[in-house]
């Protein structure tokens, strides 16, 4: 079941003197000089707020930031023209969405990577995961495959050669600890730590719940050659929108790179 939309226009929009949305979620995105962007609150919303507060005015760009607490509604809102762009997803997830729902979307340049991590409240090392333990993983296809690859890279299971990001439980060829996998909506995984031996949690949800991926995870994805970089997505044909071009320039600036490095200390990595 989809979670209800929790859309909040952040103070970044107010600081730029933007008008309020009027509270009607069905209204189309503005055709004015304001760019309305849907984000996950952390780190996407924080990065975009930094851009709005510190860089946008110099480029003559006005941003309205709308926060979503799930991975479904930002694409629905973009499709329905409630947004001009969104910034919350990576290419494998976008490809799954396009294949299943027929969206006509285009991904722009990678901005950052939120390393997927393995966390636990009961064990201090992956070597201590008990036989028959329950492992929480994301239930969307792209992130579940990603989770299985991370577990395989750290010796908890083996996968068929070549399955890559499309790996499923059917592709597991070795499970020496006889682990059981519990697929949950990504946003629910931090809470699953009460009931699992370990859970594989997306970086944004880990950070939102007070976990520090760089220090609290038992295993963490590498940043190098990582296909899961997050980026801005727009409706196909709108890549040349002057507002979008300005946003892309700012998101890939030295200032934003330094902001990501300084604020997240390795828990979020620049991808440019």
Whether residues 105 and 136 share a domain: the answer is no
Residue 135: domain span? 117-220
Predicted confidence at residue 226, as pLDDT, reads: 86
User: 204 with 97: CB under 8 angstroms?
Assistant: no
At 164, which CATH number?
3.40.190.10
* Long-range CB contacts for residues 121-127, cutoff 8 Å, separation at least 24: 121/193, 121/194, 122/197, 123/197, 123/198, 123/218, 124/218, 125/218, 126/154, 126/155, 126/156, 126/198, 126/218, 126/219
Answer yes or no: is 2 within a domain: no
Q: Tell me the DSSP string of 150-210.
A: HHHHTTS-EE-TT-GGG--GGGEEE-TT--EEEEE-GGGHHHHTTT-SEEEE-HHHHHHTT
Whether residues 81 and 152 share a domain: the answer is no
Answer yes or no: is 235 within a domain: yes
Answer yes or no: is 53 within a domain: yes
CA dihedral (159, 170, 90, 49) positive or negative: negative
Whether residues 76 and 123 share a domain: the answer is no
Among the listed residues 47, 13, 52, 51, the one whose alpha carbon sits nearest the alpha carbon of residue 29: 13
Whether residues 162 and 247 share a domain: the answer is no
Whether residues 97 and 86 share a domain: the answer is yes
Whether residues 216 and 88 share a domain: the answer is no
Predicted confidence at residue 26, as pLDDT, reads: 37
Report if pTM > 0.75: yes
> Block means of pLDDT (10 residues each) for the chain, length 272 residues?
38 36 42 89 97 97 97 97 98 95 98 96 97 97 94 97 92 98 96 97 93 95 87 98 98 98 93 93
Predicted confidence at residue 88, as pLDDT, reads: 97
Predicted confidence at residue 33, as pLDDT, reads: 86
State whether residue 15 is helix, strand or coil: helix
Predicted confidence at residue 142, as pLDDT, reads: 86
Whether residues 238 and 207 share a domain: the answer is no
Residue-wise pLDDT tens digits, 199-249: 999 999 999 999 999 999 999 998 777 889 999 999 999 999 999 999 999
Please give the tally of structural domains in the chain.
Answer: 2
Answer yes or no: is 11 within a domain: no
Answer yes or no: is 209 within a domain: yes
Predicted confidence at residue 21, as pLDDT, reads: 37
Answer yes or no: is 188 within a domain: yes
Whether residues 85 and 145 share a domain: the answer is no
Whether residues 111 and 242 share a domain: the answer is yes
Predicted confidence at residue 129, as pLDDT, reads: 98
Whether residues 85 and 149 share a domain: the answer is no
């Amino acid at each position: 079941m989809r979670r209800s939309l929790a859309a909040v226009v952040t103070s970044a929009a107010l600081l730029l003197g933007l008008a309020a949305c009027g509270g009607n979620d069905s209204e189309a995105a503005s055709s004015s000089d304001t760019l309305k962007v849907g984000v996950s609150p952390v780190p996407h919303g924080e990065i975009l707020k930094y851009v709005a507060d510190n860089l946008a005015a110099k480029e003559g760009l006005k941003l309205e930031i709308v926060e979503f607490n799930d991975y479904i509604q930002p694409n629905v809102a973009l499709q329905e023209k409630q947004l001009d762009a969104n910034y919350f997803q990576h290419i494998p997830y976008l490809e799954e969405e396009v294949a299943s729902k027929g969206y006509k979307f285009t991904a722009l340049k990678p901005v950052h990577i939120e390393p997927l991590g393995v966390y636990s409240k009961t064990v201090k090392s992956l070597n201590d995961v008990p036989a028959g333990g329950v492992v929480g993983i994301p239930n969307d296809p792209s992130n579940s495959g990603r989770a299985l690859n991370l577990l395989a890279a750290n010796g908890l299971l083996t996968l068929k050669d070549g399955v890559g990001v499309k790996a499923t439980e059917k592709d597991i060829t070795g499970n020496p600890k006889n682990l059981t996998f519990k697929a949950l909506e990504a946003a629910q995984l931090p809470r699953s730590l009460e009931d699992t031996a370990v859970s594989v949690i997306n970086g944004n949800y880990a950070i939102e719940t007070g976990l520090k991926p760089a220090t609290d995870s038992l295993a963490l994805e590498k940043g190098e050659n990582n296909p899961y970089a997050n980026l801005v997505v727009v409706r196909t044909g709108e890549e040349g929108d002057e507002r979008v071009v300005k946003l892309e320039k700012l998101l890939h600036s030295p200032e934003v790179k330094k902001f990501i490095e300084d604020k997240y200390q390795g828990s979020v990595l620049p991808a440019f």
